[in-house]
Amino acid sequence: MTAEEWTAVRLSLLIATTATLFSLPLGIAIAWLLARGRFWGKSLLDTLVHLPLILPPVVTGYLLLLSFGRRGPIGGFLAEEFGIVFSFRWTGAALACAIMGFPLMVRAIRLSIEAVDQRLEAAAGTLGANPLWVFATVTLPLCLPGIIAGAILAFAKSMGEFGATITFVSNIPGETQTLPSLIYTLTQVPGGDAAAMRLTLVSIAISMLALLGSELLAKRIATRRQTA
């Protein structure tokens, strides 16, 4: 593999990992709100979370460009106040990936929170645990498999994200050129087929490793519970 290809692989891994880790706490919080909350505007929040799943990725990317671009309302504010710039940076790609993977992550976690037996939470309360402790020591451990599944889904989605990323942060080698962007570029130039095929295989390998890793992790949690 060429240096350019390695860079794209590394960048993709960095972007997908960053996107997953940073969106996970918010994903858990939103999933909990949707699973347990009773408040006005809940279905609106639900729709909003799912929007990236239904919208064309290019539209999501363009909306990101409008709002998080240097002249956008949020992007401008963040750049001036904190010096955080998203547009045409790898961080922007991570933001795009996080938003695209968010619905999948929230869905998986929400389902697992809904499956947690609330009678166990009530029991923890009678033992003196306040709601925050109940969440940390009962709810969270019991929906851990769902959290892992959600994180892996988001990670896989990030590895494959193309439309929103290329619209928002373009296709700059070494900065925003991810695996899919590079594969796309290679298919556009003559003689790029062999390289595109190599990267396709790498992409397949990474996805399968991620899936395998999550299975192993889920299994280890299950056996640890059996023998604990």
Partner 1 sequence: MSLDVDVDHRRGSFHLEARFTAAPGLTALFGRSGSGKTSLVNIVGGLIRPDRGRIAVDGQVLVDTERGLFVPAHRRRIGYVFQDSRLFPHLSVRRNLLYGRWFARGGGGAKADLGTVVDLLGIGHLLERHPDSLSGGEKQRVAIGRALLAKPRLLLMDEPLASLDEARRAEILPYIERLRDEAGVPILYVSHSVAEVARLATTVVVLADGKVSAVGPVQDILPLADATDGGAVLDATVSCHDEAFQLSILQSLAGELQVPRLPVPVGAPVRAYIRARDVMLSLQPPTDISALNVLAGTIAGISPAGSAQADIRLDCNGATLMARVTAKSVDRLGLAAGRPVYAVVKSVSFERG
Helix/strand/coil (H/E/C) assignment for every residue in 9-61: HHHHHHHHHHHHHHHHHHHHHHHHHHHHCCCCCHHHHHHHHHHHHHCCHHHHH
**188 near partner 1 (CB under 8 A):** no
**66 near partner 1 (CB under 8 A):** no
Residue from 8, 105, 138, 202 binding partner 1 (CB under 8 A):
138
Nearer to partner 1, 134 or 153 (CB): 134
8 A C-beta contact, residue 178 and residue 167: no
CA 140 from centre of chain: 19
**59 near partner 1 (CB under 8 A):** no
**141 near partner 1 (CB under 8 A):** yes
The one segment of 22-30, 40-48, 135-143, 179-187 that binds partner 1 by CB under 8 A:
135-143
**38 near partner 1 (CB under 8 A):** no
Q: Could you give the C-alpha distances from 124 to 31, 113, 134, 157, in angstroms and in order?
A: 21, 16, 6, 36
Q: How many residues bind partner 1 (CB under 8 A)?
A: 22
Nearer to partner 1, 84 or 123 (CB): 123
CB of 116 to partner 1, least distance (A): 10
The one segment of 11-19, 84-92, 131-139, 151-159 that binds partner 1 by CB under 8 A:
131-139
Least Cα distance to 137 among 123, 157, 151 occurs for: 123
Least Cα distance to 183 among 156, 202, 169 occurs for: 202
8 A C-beta contact, residue 102 and residue 45: no
Nearer to partner 1, 96 or 143 (CB): 143
- Six-digit token string for 12: 């993709």
The one segment of 88-96, 122-130, 160-168, 188-196 that binds partner 1 by CB under 8 A:
122-130
Chain position carrying tokens 């280890």: 220
Nearer to partner 1, 143 or 199 (CB): 143
* Residues contributing to the site for partner 1 (CB under 8 A): 119-120, 122-131, 133-134, 137-138, 141-142, 225-228
